[in-house]
Structure 1
Amino acid sequence: MQAFIGTGVALVTPFKKDFSVDTDALKKIVNYVIDGGVEYLVVLGTTGEPATLSEEEQELVISTIVEANNGRLPLVLGVGGNNTHKVVAELENKDLSRFQAILSVSPYYNKPTQEGIYQHFKMIAETSPIPVILYNVPGRTASNMLPETVLRLAKEFKNIIGIKEAAGDIVQAMKLIQHKPKDFLVISGDDMVALPMVLAGGSGVISVIGEGYPKEFSEMIRLGLQRKVDEAYALHYKLMDSIDMIFEQGNPGGVKEIFKSLGLSENTVRLPLVNVDANLAGRLDSFTKQLSK
């Protein structure tokens, strides 16, 4: 699974001021992150606001990204939810031939036990025709997929190839890295600890800030994978304030302000999300302009 070592970016869905999907802006963003050196693209992850998109809009986003990518980078599709049988039905009926893997979040809101989480992903693994990357993000799901559950899945299902680990717990990540099967990928889902996780033996990151500043962030991860620690941390500290800023008032409001500053898209988000306030927008604009000098 060398395709997923390095920096993947969770693509936003840009909207016009009338809240319709802006396909022209989406194509610009795809080209921007590819030119910036990222290794793969994640389609319809949380950052893409899929919960507010109709099925037709989701297909429009998929087809636009596939066309703009034109086979240049591997694609990962977000396919997850808290209704196991609905997720399985989606996997059975969706055309996944354009994707190299799916990213599937641990069930949210229901707060299943570890056994429930295991059984959920067992069904997904047995159904998915392409590799599966688990996604653990307790801050959104209200339950933590423990290392024991992840390792059980990793060892029992060959098509479960990795996890996007976003618990914000470096010790938990290290336990996964310590005990994982040889080729299993432990991918950071938290931009602030992505470099420490890589240096501890992780495989890279699925990033939000790496979409806003792909050149600098993907280079930082590559330096980390090459064990060029001082050079990597120099970039980490250069970007550190921006990582805090883009999540300060929610995602993807922050990164959409960066794209507005770069002239790539509007900053529009759909309710229940709202735009970041003027103070944060100004700070992000200043940081972006300063970084590009």
Structure 2
Amino acid sequence: MAIFEGAGVAIITPFHTDGSIDYDKFGEVIEQQIANQTDAIIVCGTTGESATMTHEEHLDVIRYCVEKVAHRIPVVAGTGSNCTETAVYLSQEAEKIGADGLLVVTPYYNKATQNGLYQHFKMVADSVKLPILLYNVPSRTGTTLQPETIVRLCRDVENIVGVKDATGNISQTAHLMSIADGCVDLYSGEDAIIVPMLSLGAKGVISVLSNVAPQETHQICSLYFEGKVKESCELQLKAVPLVEALFCEVNPIPVKKAMQLKGMCTGTLRMPLTEMEEADAARLEREMKKFGVL
């Protein structure tokens, strides 16, 4: 059984203006997501700025999220690292905390061969019992997890169940699903192509857009699953200008600004991320208003 089906939010981490974690606002964001039909929460991923957190902060944020959600929907914890030992440690701790699944990114900067990637993910998976989603995001990591390696991992390792595909390469994704023979739970990592990914067999999306428009992102998936493909596609296309605005600068700069505009956080980012450019912020605000989320 898949960890979740539908729209999982790649949730932001709200900060106070001094850069410390604002747990009160984080709690509000979580409750708003659940109230608006989000199907899962993915915590401490790229959008959550986990790369700037200490290990203690990282685990505290996961713990808070798990306790706040209280089993109402699945919580998937980002526990990847470019150091295999660190990924093992974070994964084991997230399992103890009570996460429902793990999202583990390909090792970044030091990179690895496909065999090295296989060994990395297998070692992490062997250290825990939780279901694991691989996170394939070459634009961030400089490394592409090839379809054959994804299938090999999902077949060989019982608790590696699928992949968040943020390659944006539909042809590669189609190849993956053609050789997977049903062994890979696919999730779109790109908000602009949720419906195309669903048409290839995706279980849903791990979404930045869901921070701003949780109900609509859920509906893109639920309408598709109900067989209302035309309606799903119409909503997807309506969302494209907003999605483009949310990615006109490096994620999560725009989505943090969007959530500030909605009154859900201060908009504070941790360096090296910086304040959104004025013209881009104006564009984002316009698109939020057009889409009806502001």
Distance 2:119 2:56 in 1: 30
Does the CA-based 8 Å contact 1:38-1:218 persist in structure 2?
yes
SS of match in other structure, 2:162: strand
Q: Which residue of 1 aligns with 2:55?
A: 55
1:103 matches 2:103: yes
Distance 1:56 1:90 in 2: 10
Q: Which residue of 1 aligns with 2:212?
A: 212
Does the CA-based 8 Å contact 2:3-2:131 persist in structure 1?
no
1:123 matches 2:100: no
SS of match in other structure, 1:48: coil
Q: Which residue of 2 aligns with 1:196?
A: 196
Q: CA deviation at 1:183?
A: 5.0
Q: Which residue of 2 aligns with 1:272?
A: 272
1:20 matches 2:14: no
Alignment of 1:134-149 (within 5 A): 134-149=134-149
Alignment of 1:274-289 (within 5 A): 274-289=274-289
Q: CA deviation at 1:55?
A: 2.7
Does the CA-based 8 Å contact 1:122-1:153 persist in structure 2?
yes
Distance 2:15 2:97 in 1: 27
Q: Which residue of 2 aligns with 1:79?
A: 79
Q: CA deviation at 1:94?
A: 5.0
Q: Deviations over 1:91-143 (max 9, x none)?
A: 34555341111100011111211111111111112112211110100001111
Which range moves more in the overlay, 273-282 or 135-144?
A: 273-282
In structure 1, what residue type is equivalent to 2:193? V
Q: CA deviation at 1:58?
A: 2.1
Distance 2:147 2:56 in 1: 37
SS of match in other structure, 2:257: helix
Does the CA-based 8 Å contact 1:177-1:202 persist in structure 2?
no
Given the superposition, is the C-alpha separation of residues 144 and 257 from structure 1 closer, same or farther in structure 2, using an over 3 Å criterion?
same
Given the superposition, is the C-alpha separation of residues 157 and 44 from structure 1 closer, same or farther in structure 2, using an over 3 Å criterion?
same
Distance 1:216 1:92 in 2: 34
SS of match in other structure, 1:77: strand
Q: Which residue of 2 aligns with 1:223?
A: 223
5+ long unaligned stretches in structure 1: none
Q: CA deviation at 1:170?
A: 0.6
Distance 2:91 2:261 in 1: 37
In structure 2, what residue type is equivalent to 1:208? V
SS of match in other structure, 1:47: coil
Does the CA-based 8 Å contact 1:154-1:181 persist in structure 2?
no
SS of match in other structure, 1:96: helix
Does the CA-based 8 Å contact 1:66-1:98 persist in structure 2?
yes
Aligned pairs, how many? 293
Q: Provide the TM-score with structure 2 as the length reference.
A: 0.94
Does the CA-based 8 Å contact 2:39-2:74 persist in structure 1?
yes
Does the CA-based 8 Å contact 1:155-1:181 persist in structure 2?
no
Q: CA deviation at 1:81?
A: 1.0
Q: Deviations over 1:203-250 (max 9, x none)?
A: 111010112111111101111223322101111111101111111111
Which range moves more in the overlay, 242-251 or 223-232?
A: 223-232
SS of match in other structure, 2:135: strand
Given the superposition, is the C-alpha separation of residues 226 and 178 from structure 1 closer, same or farther in structure 2, using an over 3 Å criterion?
farther
In structure 1, what residue type is equivalent to 2:126? E
Distance 1:241 1:270 in 2: 26
Q: Which residue of 2 aligns with 1:36?
A: 36
Does the CA-based 8 Å contact 1:7-1:221 persist in structure 2?
yes
Given the superposition, is the C-alpha separation of residues 166 and 249 from structure 1 closer, same or farther in structure 2, using an over 3 Å criterion?
same
Distance 2:64 2:154 in 1: 33
SS of match in other structure, 1:4: coil
Which range moves more in the overlay, 216-225 or 134-143?
A: 216-225
5+ long unaligned stretches in structure 2: none
Does the CA-based 8 Å contact 1:3-1:39 persist in structure 2?
no
In structure 2, what residue type is equivalent to 1:157? V
Q: Which residue of 2 aligns with 1:173?
A: 173
Q: CA deviation at 1:85?
A: 2.4
Q: Provide the TM-score with structure 1 as the length reference.
A: 0.95
